[in-house]
Chain A
Amino acid sequence: MVVECRDVSRTYDDDAVPVHALRGVDFQLAAGEWVSLAGPSGSGKSTLLHVIGGLDQPTTGSVVVDGVEVTALSAAQLSDLRLDKIGFVFQSYNLIPVLSALENVEFILQLQGVDRAERRSRSREALHSLGLSDLENRRPGEMSGGQQQRVAIARAIVTEPVLLLADEPSANLDTSTTRELLEVLQSLNRERGVTILTATHDPMVMGYTTRQVNLRDGNVVGDNA
């Protein structure tokens, strides 16, 4: 199992009324799967994604990613977990505006301390696999939204993470760009065996995934392969 969540709850109690974003979620994700989290707005999709990605800590319960109990990690260890084991694609604002596409992808390898030559070739290859070879010197401001998301995916997979997390990756994209993006993810999943977890409202996504998990009010209400 790449991910094992047991009885995970997350309660926000900064406000007067506590908000139960997750209420005892049990969830497992096997290597090679592409699971889509579905559910209405506020059902807890993003929260679950963040908890699994080590960006948020559950109030109770246990989250094990690639054999590591995430809830026991320090801030710096969580940083390293995110850097080494997880690839993130956010809804928007994914890239560093002052760096070119190639540099954005290289960036994460630089954080890992990979040396220059290896960095270059791996980054070029990642961009190539996403059909971005011609755009490697463009900065984010000089690319379309779909191209930027593909660069973000290239950056997320260049480290060969055990898990790719994408929260509404298509929210800002039109239908045809979304389709291209989903096809890219599908080929990563099928051909490279990348394990993917996405959260989305978009019914189009469901057609591509290997499994769909439905959330409602912080509970898993359906799980169909």
Chain B
Amino acid sequence: MNRARRMPVKLLMQLSWRNIWRHRRRNAILLSAIAIAVTGVTLLNMMMRGMQQDMMNTAIENLTGHVKILAPGYRDDPGIERGFEVVEGWQTALPGGVQGWAKRIRVPAVVMSERETRGIQLLGVDPVRESISFLGDATVDGERLAGPGDSRLLVGGLLTEALDTAPGRRLVLVTQGADGRTREAGFRIAGVYRAEIAGLEKAFVFTGLEALQQLLGTDKITEISIRLDHEDLEAPTIAGLTGSVENLDVLSWRELEPQAASMVEISDMAIYILFVIVMGALVFGLVNTLVTAVMERLRELGMLRAIGMRPRVVVAQVVVESSIIMAIGVATGLMLAAAMFAFVADGIDLTAFDDSLASFGMRPTFVPVFDIRDVVLVVVLSLALSVLASFYPARRAVKIKPLDALRR
């Protein structure tokens, strides 16, 4: 009689399933609550992940890239005197998964039209390589830059308005050359670009990289921006580069855009806090329902134990019962969320809130992002919670002696 007994799993499933049906109204309510909560949490997660992705992309496309190579000190005091040269073949140090990279010169400059003067950042770029930044997708009135040798300008729309100028007209740029002396030269406007984040249009003026090097009297560049296929490749890329480009800073976008990076972290936290609150509320509901269910069945459970059902089998039965309800609720919730996700997967137009969103570094439309890790988190945590939550009522059921339970 001491022979080891296996858990009668099938029996537990059968009993649990029947008991769930016995109280279908109560369990349907509980199940709906779980499903709705899971749907809500999942959809909110997707939206928040979308916003997060958007903030990240904006930060990265804002001429930052995932990783950037700079000369030490450039960030505090940008200028061509902090320029550098890289040896041929530096890019062999890059691991796989690089979407593209771009060499640039970025120097502070003053731009003048006949009417107005503005401080800007002047960028010398190779237009083909800028597919990695916002410039690649930007719409342009007039012409784009033809190549690194193009000495015309690409000016943002807002700046063009402020300077009261137009494509084809000329602007004068004043900046400091490599020798420390001031350079002043006239440039023709090739085109006017439009950026999704309006602020960029006022800040950046582009010209050809080689043309700018010529103006400044240098062969150097001030930055290399690297765009990766995925954020997770950042660490290996930085590690790979740090050894090979000596005396230069290899920085992640998080260091270059700390504000955006902390927004991303905060939204991560918000996702988890939201999740804990919703799931916590659900667990209270679940425990409450289970305590009621166990108390109602106390005589029955007492009888089961009297005829020889071991206490841990009784506990397992209650745990299985709550896990089934939770599993069905979570599955329903996820399916609802998936169905609703299909409606918004193409993006949500938030043009109405454009101004306030822009201040968070977000675009007027954003696309919800489905992250399998969030779904796994929802599934694993909710099932773990339902097991933990059902232990308490189940323990109550077996703490009382079978005879006392039968006597009630």
Interface residues of A (CB under 8 A from B): 50, 53, 55-56, 68, 75-77, 79-86, 88, 90, 93-94, 96-99, 103, 107-108, 110-113, 155-156
Chain A residues with CB under 8 Å of B21's CB are 98
The CA-CA distance from A56 to B307 in the complex, in Å, is 13
Kindly provide the distance from the CB of B142 to the nearest chain A CB, expressed in whole angstroms: 78
Q: Complex formed: what's the CA distance from A79 to B310 in Å? A: 6
Residue B406 CB within 8 A of the other chain: yes
Smallest CB-CB separation from B308: which chain A residue?
Answer: A83
Contact residues, B250-304 vs A (CB, 8 A): 299-300, 303-304
Do B1 and A56 touch (CB < 8 A)?
A: no
User: In the complex, what's the smallest C-beta–C-beta distance from A135 to chain B, in angstroms?
Assistant: 18
Bound-complex Cα distance A75 to B311 (A): 9
B22 A55 Cβ-Cβ under 8 A: no
Contact B311 A96 (CB under 8 A): no
Number of chain B residues close to chain A: CB under 8 A: 28
- Chain A residues with Cβ below 8 Å from B15 are 96, 98-99
Q: Is the interface of A mostly helix, strand, loop or mixed?
A: helix
C-alpha gap A79/B299 in the complex (Å): 17
Pair A98/B19 contact, Cβ less than 8 Å: yes
Is the C-beta of B182 less than 8 angstroms from some C-beta in chain A?
no
- Provide the main secondary structure of the chain B interface: helix
B157 at the interface (CB under 8 A from A): no
Partner-binding segment picked from B6-14, B168-176, B213-221, B223-231: B6-14
> Within 8 Å of chain A (Cβ to Cβ): is B118?
no
Query: Is there an interface contact between A82 and B304, defined as CB atoms closer than 8 Å?
Result: no
Q: Which of A75, A79, A96 has the most CB of B within 10 A?
A: A79
How far is the CB of B75 from the nearest CB of chain A, in Å?
69
Q: How far is the CA of A82 from the CA of B403 in the complex (A)?
A: 13
Residue in chain B with minimal CB distance to A95:
B303
- Complex interface: chain B residues within 8 A of A68 (CB): 1
Q: Nearest Cβ distance between residue B389 and chain A, in whole angstroms?
A: 22
**Chain B residues whose C-beta falls within 8 Å of the C-beta of A96 in the assembled complex:** 15, 300, 303-304
Interchain CB contact under 8 A, B11 and A111: yes
| Minimal beta-carbon separation of B294 from chain A (angstroms) | 15
Q: For B300, give the chain A residue with the smallest CB separation.
A: A96
- The complex places the Cα of A75 from the Cα of B304 at a distance, in Å, of 14
**Distance of A83 Cα from B309 Cα, bound (Å):** 7
Nearest Cβ in chain A — how far from B301, in angstroms?
10
Question: In the complex, what residues of A have CB within 8 A of residue B300's CB?
Answer: 93, 96-97
Chain B 22-50 interface 0/1 with A at a Cβ cutoff of 8 Å (1 = within): 10000000000000000000000000000
Task: Give which listed residue, A90, A93, A111, contacts B308 with CB less than 8 A.
Answer: A111
B residues less than 8 Å from A55 (CB atoms): 306, 402-403
Assembled-state Cα–Cα distance A107/B19 (Å): 15
**How many Å from the CB of B6 to the closest CB on chain A?**
6
Contact: A110 with B10, CB < 8 Å? yes
- Does B2 lie within 8 Å of A111, measured CB to CB? no
Task: Report the separation of the CA atoms of residues A82 and B2 in the bound assembly, to the nearest whole angstrom.
Answer: 12
Cβ of A84 to closest chain B Cβ, rounded Å: 5
- In the assembled complex, the Cα of A185 lies from the Cα of B310 at a distance in Å of 28
Question: Once the chains bind, are B307 and A50 in contact (CB under 8 Å)?
Answer: no
Other A-B pairs beyond A82-B308, A88-B306, A111-B8, 4, CB < 8 Å = A79-B308, A84-B308, A90-B303, A90-B306
Residues of B with C-beta under 8 A to A77: 1-2
B305 in the interface, Cβ–Cβ < 8 Å?
yes
CA distance A81 to B309 in the complex (A): 11
The digit string for B71-111, where 1 denotes a CB below 8 A from any CB of A, is 00000000000000000000000000000000000000000
B396 within 8 A of A: no
**Contact status B403-A79, CB under 8 Å:** no
Instruction: Give the distance in Å from the alpha carbon of A223 to the alpha carbon of B61 in the complex.
Output: 98
B181 within 8 A of A: no
- 1/0 per residue, CB under 8 A from A, across B311-334: the answer is 101000000000000000000000
Nearest chain B CB to A108 CB, angstrom units: 6
B403 touches A50 (CB 8 A): yes
B2 with A80: CB separation less than 8 A? yes
Q: Cβ of B373 < 8 Å from any Cβ of A?
A: no
The one of A75, A83, A97, A99 in contact with B307, judged by C-beta atoms closer than 8 angstroms, is A83
In the assembled complex, B5 has its CB within 8 A of some CB on chain A: yes
Cα distance A108–B305 in the bound complex, in angstroms: 11
Chain B residue numbers with a CB within 8 Å of A103 are 14
Contact of A98 with B306 at beta-carbon distance under 8 Å, contacts A55-B402, A110-B8 already known: no
B residues in contact with A86, CB < 8 Å: 308
By a CB distance below 8 angstroms, the chain A residues around B310 are: 76, 79-80
Please list the 7 inter-chain residue pairs (A to B) with the smallest Cβ-Cβ separation, ordered nearest first.
A83-B308, A98-B18, A82-B308, A110-B11, A79-B310, A80-B1, A84-B1
